[in-house]
Amino acid sequence: MKKLILITFSALVFMLSSTVPALADGVEFKYQADFGSTLNQPVIAEKYFPFRGVSRIVFEVAGKKCNLLGSASPIRAYQGCNYTINIAADGTLTGSGNSPCTTDVAAACTPIK
């Protein structure tokens, strides 16, 4: 019995101290549509895309290609890399990410040629 407890404890310590990437990367898009005088406020749609510890998160949106860090890249993002991207009605992109992941999302998105 003592041997089983020791093996279980050792396995738990190994799992907690390993450098396995986080399993909680994600990108949330918030789209804004402006219907002018029809509605008093803009309509915002949201969509979340989860990932499983990838090294890069690459996608195209609003005529731009975005290349963001994922938690499996060598940045030690144990809490995962999570991003929020806002797409305005005019196509302007803004966004943010948690540290040590890509924090300036707009700069990581370049126009598609």
Residues 41-65: tens digit of each pLDDT = 777 899 999 988 889 999 999 999 9
CB 58 within 8 A of CB 67: yes
Length reported for the chain? 113
Q: Are 93 and 106 in contact (CB under 8 A)?
A: yes
pLDDT of residue 14: 46
Residue owning tokens 């009605």 = 89
Q: Is the pTM here over 0.85, yes or no?
A: no
Q: Where are the domains of the chain?
A: 21-111
Query: Which amino acid, 11?
Result: A
Which residue stretches of the chain have pLDDT < 70? 1-23, 36-40
CA quadruple 96, 26, 54, 100: dihedral, nearest 10: 30
pLDDT the model gives residue 16: 42
pLDDT at 96: 95
